[in-house]
Amino acid sequence: MSFLMVPKMAFLFHIPEMYFHYRNVLSLLDPHSFDIILPDEAPEALLDIVAANQYRFSYISELLNAKTLYRYLISDHVFLQDYNLMNRLGTRQIRFISELGCDRLNLTNWNKLYDMIFCFGRYQERKLKFCKGVWLFQTGWPQFDPYFQDIEVDHEGLMQKYNCDPNKPTLLWTPYFEALCSIEIYAERMAALTDRYNVIVKPHDYTHFEEYERVQLLERLPFTAVVKRPTDLLELLVLADTVFSDYGNTPFPGLYCDKRQILLHVPYAPEHEYVGFGSSDITLRSYLPTLQPESSLEDFYDLLESDTPWLRYEQKQNTLKDRFFAATYGSSSQVVAKLLTTLDKYL
């Protein structure tokens, strides 16, 4: 069967969050050097993002029907777990990792599909060494480059955007989804913290798309703000004095950006098929303050308002960051962009 090969890059945007993941790198590339690929049933919010940035895009079905594929396909993971589909969209596969955590989901055999993988740091590179013949590069986390750059932030404008009281500290809660999600267990106590704090909740993208009852639960409670539209986590981290997270990738942006964090434990999570003993999001619990389902509201306040629990974590923070992240803070996008513009050298 004859295919038409487009001699440039294409980025697969399967959910709106991918825009924030890729954005800083795309801004450094020649806009004519890449296209965007969208699923046929792309969320409206994703279509709005692509239109606002005037990206050239095609739907998956259009490319398949036209028997057209790209020389290089950049994605976060194997879309729909369909290896054949990925190979029908690109002749060379590059994985641009967007998260840590859930090692049994993110660092397993399907990574062998890729020809090149961009890792956050040495932890992921070491875990992926079994992918023989695959180029592995430590690139840091491009999404958060602006946090480490000399940029002006309209802090007052962000406070107003999220309905925050400037006289209160701000808490950010970023629960995961499915069985690893902490919403049902902790929502009422987190909402009660609004007596003394601004409490912003950013549910996972998949919670918005697939877990409507959880979103309704959050909306019934008196949170300062529940983030309902795709939003760059970076601006929320700028506001946050302390971050509450649970599993998957949720604890790692705060670690990367040097935020105080409190973990929320979900029963049976260590035995979950995505994590298990030794998973990076489980390992963090040996260092970060953690609250339990039976913890009282006073336990929350005690942890937030005492410096003692943070001393051990602050002593270990740089060690953890060195383990998980390459030392490219503020310049990760340039590292990735340089690799993407020299792909012919490797592939």
> 332-341, pLDDT tens digit by residue?
999 999 999 9
Strand partners, 38: 59
Ramachandran angles phi, psi of 148, nearest 5°: -105, 10
* 78-82, 229-233, 279-283: segment of lowest average pLDDT: 78-82
- Domain 148-324 carries which CATH code? 3.40.50.12580
d(CA 5, CA 91): 8
- According to the model, what pLDDT value does residue 167 have? 96
| Confidence class for position 316, pLDDT limits 50, 70, 90 | confident
> 């919403």: which residue's tokens?
183
CA neighbor of 11 nearest in space, from 72, 85, 60, 54: 72
- According to the model, what pLDDT value does residue 11 have? 98
CB half-sphere exposure, 292, CA atoms < 13 A: 3
Question: Residue 114: is its pLDDT beyond 90?
Answer: yes
| Confidence class for position 195, pLDDT limits 50, 70, 90 | very high
- According to the model, what pLDDT value does residue 115 have? 98
- According to the model, what pLDDT value does residue 220 have? 96
> 């943070």: which residue's tokens?
310
d(CA 337, CA 60): 25
- According to the model, what pLDDT value does residue 296 have? 97
Q: For the chain, list the strands marked E by DSSP.
A: 4-12, 34-38, 57-59, 68-75, 90-96, 116-119, 135-138, 170-174, 198-201, 225-226, 242-245, 260-264, 290-291
Question: Residue 217: is its pLDDT beyond 60?
Answer: yes
pTM score: 0.95
| Confidence class for position 255, pLDDT limits 50, 70, 90 | very high
pLDDT (average), residues 29-40: 97
Which CATH class name applies to 4-141+327-346?
alpha beta
- Helix-strand-coil percent breakdown of the chain, rounded to 5? 45, 20, 35
pLDDT (average), residues 194-201: 97
Mean pLDDT of the chain: 94
Listed in order, the ranges of the chain carrying CATH 3.40.50.2000 are: 4-141+327-346
Listed in order, the ranges of the chain carrying CATH 3.40.50.12580 are: 148-324
With a CB cutoff of 8 Å and minimum separation 6, the contacts of 181 are: 175, 204, 207, 211, 214, 246, 266
Q: Is 342 left (phi over 0), alpha (psi -120 to 50) or beta?
A: alpha
Question: Residue 186: is its pLDDT beyond 80?
Answer: yes
d(CA 23, CA 255): 21
Question: Residue 1: is its pLDDT beyond 60?
Answer: no
End-to-end CA distance of the chain: 23
Q: Which two tokens stand for residue 19?
A: 């825009």
Question: Residue 109: is its pLDDT beyond 90?
Answer: yes
d(CA 272, CA 287): 21
> 């939003």: which residue's tokens?
231
d(CA 265, CA 67): 48
Query: Does residue 262 sit in helix, strand or coil?
Result: strand
d(CA 328, CA 297): 39
The answer to whether the beta carbons of residues 244 and 261 sit under 8 Å apart is yes
pLDDT (average), residues 29-42: 96
pLDDT tens sequence across 276-310: 888 999 999 988 899 999 999 999 999 999 877 67
Question: Residue 210: is its pLDDT beyond 90?
Answer: no
d(CA 210, CA 310): 35
**Vertex 237 angle, CA 280 and 144, to 5°:** 70
CA neighbor of 261 nearest in space, from 247, 248, 275, 244: 244
Query: Does residue 219 sit in helix, strand or coil?
Result: helix
Calculate what percentage of the chain has a pLDDT beyond 70: 99
CA neighbor of 250 nearest in space, from 204, 207, 317: 204
Q: DSSP alpha helices (H): ranges in 66-140? A: 83-89, 103-106, 122-127
pLDDT (average), residues 60-73: 97
pLDDT (average), residues 55-84: 94
Question: Residue 256: is its pLDDT beyond 90?
Answer: yes
